[in-house]
Amino acid sequence: QLDAFPKHFLWGAASAAYQIEGGWNADGKGPSIWDHFTKIPGKTFKGTNGDVAVDHYHRYKEDIALMAEMGLKSYRFSVAWSRILPEGIGSVNQKGLQFYEDLIDELIKHNIEPVLTLYHWDIPQSLQDKYNGWESRQAIDDFDHYARILFDRFKDKVKYWVSFNEQNVFTALGYRWQAHPPNISDVKRMFESNHIINLANAKAINSFHELVPNGVIGPSFGYGPMYSFDCAPDNILAELNGEEFQNHWWLDVYVHGKYPKVTLKQLNRLGIAPTIKDGDMELLQSAKPDFLGVNYYHGGTVRANEIEHPLQIDEQDLEKDFQATDPYLMKPKEEQAQSPETRMFTNVSNPHLETTDWGWEIDPIGIRIALRRLQNRYDLPMMITENGLGAYDELGVDEKVEDDYRINYLSAHIKEIQKAITDGVEVIGYCAWSFTDLLSWLNGYQKRYGFVYIDRDEQDEKRLERIPKKSYYWYKNVIQTNGEE
């Protein structure tokens, strides 16, 4: 017998500014690093960008009406920093701020709890040009300044706040794999900027606790539980390493204000550990999130490496890894042993799991394992801030989208969350990714996640008709029955 979902469980859906808004230069918005990056030839699928996206900037009322009709309890969205401060600093663009105020008011009017993400990967391009963005400590203060503007303005309207979205993903893809902006491949610079982002996160959380006493804030982390390939003890050790390097490396800092020792020691050995200055660790320790946002898509499976604790990895080896690894999956393109920069484990495929059309493993039990491990180690309430299935949906001749595969996927994950709640884990909400179809960062508009289909018209890029899919009606019922379906 499973426990019921909590009475006020936040059944929701999530999005990010660049992926839905469009209006990339509307009403005084400045460019972000994504506006810049998607214009570099060859970087995204067929050169797709978010200039128009799904035009949510002009159609948010229509979208929120569909959310209300569905009975959504919460909606997670992100604010584009460069809409508020077109240059990242300086004077506020009142029209940009007003857009988010109108959006929030519209949500509240329909009894939908806003969940506001401060940073979903789009630092203003002018800060990138000016001082290399997250590589400069100036970004800590500038981010805090931006965050304080939002805290001040929305403190009485928004209770749930997310600081950074998937810091692990955007630092790795942006500074190591050249798959995201700022399009860099330099392991040392990746660890340096990651440390600076940790400091920015801590400083903003402290500001939040000073300015928004009735709200709660936490990061949204892209968590994938690590599995040992088998029960060989050296592979179990590799799992420990993988869990520490891929997950605790961030989460321990967020929650306990310290870097895990084994990974830090290995990074020091290799000369790629971040520069930690006086006062840094004190700042990290002073800020504690109120909850953890968990983005769950899939975990990772690992095996031991032949050499443990190498003293150096030469440039050629790093280059070989670079060529052989699929950055999104963090797995070798072919089944040959390649490993991430610490050489503490090797990522491999899991023979027990099927994959999506884009090769992402489908693993509902993994979400329960994730929640259990995170509860054990961090003991904070958790909100699933993303979970969903990217697929090639098709609009039938009858104008319907029969996305039973998505229903099966979401249903299986929700069931495992209920089991985790029955186990004793505190979960306060679930945001499916995503409400409408939207821009998949590198995969264009063909990889669809939404409950609402967006009919794109090549001739008329602003037509963008909204058509609820079968999963829309299914989720409506999930919400109505509080998870019973």
User: Catalytic residue positions?
Assistant: 166, 386
Does 11 bind ligand BGP (CB under 6 A)? Our answer is no
Which residue in the block uniquely carries the two structure tokens 């805090």? 144
Q: Which tokens sit at 413? A: 């994950």
Pair of tokens at residue 313: 């990895």
**Contact between 313 and ligand BGP per CB under 6 A:** no
Q: Of the two residues 313 and 431, which places its CB atom closer to ligand BGP in the complex?
A: 431
Place of tokens 């995969």: 443
Instruction: Give the interface segment with ligand BGP, choosing from 22-30, 122-130, 162-170, 397-405 (CB under 6 A).
Output: 162-170
**Per CB under 6 A, does 165 bind ligand BGP?**
yes
Under the criterion CB under 6 A, does residue 222 sit at the interface with ligand BGP? yes
Name beta bridge partners: 406: none
Residue 293's SS3 state is strand
CB of 440 to ligand BGP, least distance (A): 3
x/- contact string, 288-307, with ligand BGP (CB under 6 A)? -------x------------
With binding defined as CB under 6 A, does residue 168 bind ligand BGP? no
Any contact of residue 441 with ligand BGP (CB under 6 A)? yes
The answer to whether residue 50 forms part of the interface with ligand BGP (CB under 6 A) is no
Convert 107-140 to b/e letters by CB count within 10 Å (16 or more is b): beeeebbbbbbbbbbbbbbbbbebeebbbbbbbb
x/- letters, 388..427, toward ligand BGP (CB under 6 A) = --x-------------------------------------
With a CB cutoff of 8 Å and minimum separation 6, the contacts of 473 are none
Q: What angle do CA 84, 178, 252 make, to 5 degrees?
A: 70
| Residues in 191-210 that interact with ligand BGP by CB under 6 A | none
Residue 292 C-beta: closest distance to ligand BGP, Å: 15
- Write out the two tokens for 421: 């709640």
Q: Which residues pair with 295 in a beta bridge?
A: 222, 386
How big is the site for ligand BGP, counted in residues (CB under 6 A)? 13
Beta carbon nearer to ligand BGP, 273 or 374: 374
Rounded-to-integer distance, Cα 87 and Cα 15, Å: 23
Q: Which amino acid is at 361?
A: E
Nearer to ligand BGP, 224 or 332 (CB): 224
- Residue whose C-beta lies closest to ligand BGP: 440
Q: Are 83 and 37 in contact (CB under 8 A)?
A: no
Q: Which is nearer to ligand BGP, 154 or 433 (CB)?
A: 433
Q: How many helices (H) and strands (E) does the chain have?
A: 17, 15
Complex with ligand BGP: residue 96 or 224, whichever CB lies closer: 224
Q: Measured in Å, how far apart are the chain's first and last C-alpha atoms?
A: 16
Residues 5 and 418 sit within 8 Å (Cβ to Cβ): yes
* Complex with ligand BGP: residue 151 or 441, whichever CB lies closer: 441
450 binds ligand BGP, rule: CB under 6 A: no
- Taking CB under 6 A as the criterion, the residue among 169, 204, 205, 369 binding ligand BGP is 169
Residue closer to ligand BGP by CB (options 53, 344) is: 53
**Smallest gap from residue 352 Cβ to ligand BGP (A):** 22
Nearer to ligand BGP among residue 345 and residue 449 (C-beta): 449
Residue of 76, 176, 406, 447 interacting with ligand BGP (CB under 6 A): 447
Spatial CB neighbours of 129, under 8 Å, sequence gap ≥ 6:
none
DSSP string, 366-408: HHHHHHHHHHHHH---EEEEE----B-----TTS----HHHHH
Q: Does 75 bind ligand BGP (CB under 6 A)?
A: no
Instruction: State yes or no: residue 280 binds ligand BGP (CB under 6 A).
Output: no
Interaction between residue 139 and ligand BGP (CB under 6 A): no
Least distance to ligand BGP, CB of residue 310, Å: 30
User: In this chain, which stretch among 197-205, 313-321, 414-422, 439-447 interacts with ligand BGP, using CB under 6 A?
Assistant: 439-447
Asked if 386 touches ligand BGP (CB under 6 A), the answer is: yes
Cis amide leading into 182 (omega within 30): yes
Rounded Cα distance between 307 and 343, Å, is: 8
Q: Is 433 in the site for ligand BGP (CB under 6 A)?
A: yes
* HSE of 300, CA atoms in CB hemisphere, 13 A: 28
Q: Residue 229, SS3?
A: coil
CA 113, CA 107: separation in Å to the nearest integer?
7
Among 165-173, 261-269, 284-292, 303-311, the segment contacting ligand BGP (CB under 6 A): 165-173
Please return the burial class of 266, using the count of CB atoms within 10 Å of its CB with bins 0-12, 13-18 and 19+: buried
Which residues in this chain contact ligand BGP in the complex, by CB under 6 A?
16, 165-166, 169, 222, 295, 386, 390, 433, 440-441, 443, 447
